């Protein structure tokens, strides 16, 4: 499979072939990231790896004004879409179950100390990220790229056009905020 290099800042929504090219060239990586997310989850019966990747594809296809310059930008958008899909699934699951026998999701980050999280806890994390977005949306992007897309500091720095040191500081700030927010509730 050859590497796809679309023109810089190509609007994905306007050119479905470009979207398909990105997904085709990065499908294995997206599948691997989705697998990692679901491997930490006891909720894998409600969502499988391929379904998560395909839901991300649909979110991209229906999105407006998305442009990507390279692999890191694409994965950053994919991280945001994966987060959205997982939260939507967990909300739906919570609404059906209302907490009774809710499936567990293991969040493998320092934010949650890698403890199993219930559906309600996942939604609290999502709400904390929304609160953080009101303060500093850049910190939320770092969390999404690091956790949901699995990008390292250098890759995040490249995607956001920041230094790796700045990304590291943003990650530390975000973890502090999220830890405080989650323990306050």
pLDDT digits (tens, 9 = 90+) for 100-111: 444 444 444 444
The predicted structure's pLDDT at residue 16: 57
The pTM (predicted TM-score) of the whole model is: 0.61
Task: Give the DSSP H or E segment for 10.
Answer: strand 10-11
Q: Is residue 144 part of a domain?
A: yes
What digits encode the pLDDT tens for the residues 51-93? 888 888 888 877 777 777 678 888 888 878 887 887 777 777 7
Give strand pairing partners of 157: none
> Which pLDDT tens digit goes with each residue over 156-173?
998 889 999 999 999 999
Rounded to whole angstroms, the Cα distance separating 16 from 22 reads: 10
∠ CA 90-102-108 to the nearest 5 degrees?
A: 65
Eight-state DSSP code of residue 116? E
100 in a structural domain: yes
Q: What share of the chain is helix, strand, coil (3-state, %, to 5)?
A: 65, 5, 30
What is the spatial distance between Cα 114 and Cα 108, in angstroms, rounded to a whole number?
4
* Residue closest to 47 by CA, chosen among 122, 125, 152, 145: 122
pLDDT tens by residue, 19-29: 677 788 888 98
The residue assigned the tokens 């994919």 is: 78
- Structural domain total, the chain: 1
The predicted pLDDT at position 13 comes to 44
- Write down the pLDDT at residue 118: 62
CA distance 153 to 168: 7
pLDDT of residue 97 exceeding 90: no
Domain-located, residue 125:
yes
96 is a domain residue: yes
pLDDT at position 3 is 41
Q: In this structure, is residue 5 part of a structural domain? A: no
Residue 124 lies in a domain: yes
For residues 146 and 69, the model is more confident at: 146
How high is the pLDDT of residue 90? Answer: 75
The pLDDT tens digits for 104-138 are: 444 444 443 344 456 677 778 888 899 999 999 99
Q: Quick check: is 3 in a domain?
A: no
Indicate whether 63 belongs to any domain. Answer: yes
Kindly write down the DSSP assignment for every residue of 72-84, as one continuous string: HHHHHHHHHHHHH
Report the SS3 class of residue 105: strand
Residue 179: which domain range?
A: 10-184
């Amino acid at each position: 499979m050859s590497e796809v290099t679309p023109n810089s800042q190509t609007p994905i929504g306007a050119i479905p072939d470009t979207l398909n090219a990105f997904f085709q060239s990065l499908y294995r990586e997206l599948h691997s990231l989705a697998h990692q997310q679901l491997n930490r989850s006891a909720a894998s019966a409600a969502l499988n790896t391929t379904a998560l990747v395909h839901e991300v594809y649909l979110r991209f296809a229906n999105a407006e004004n998305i442009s990507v310059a390279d692999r890191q930008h694409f994965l950053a958008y994919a991280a945001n879409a994966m987060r959205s899909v997982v939260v939507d699934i967990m909300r739906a699951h919570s609404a059906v179950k209302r907490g009774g026998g809710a499936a567990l999701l293991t969040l493998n980050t320092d934010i949650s100390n890698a403890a199993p999280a219930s559906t309600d806890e996942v939604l609290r994390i999502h709400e904390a990220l929304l609160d953080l977005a009101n303060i500093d949306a850049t910190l939320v992007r770092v969390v999404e790229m690091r956790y949901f897309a699995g990008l390292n500091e250098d890759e995040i720095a490249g995607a956001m056009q920041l230094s790796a040191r700045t990304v590291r500081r943003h990650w530390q700030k975000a973890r502090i905020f999220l830890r405080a927010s989650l323990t306050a509730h």
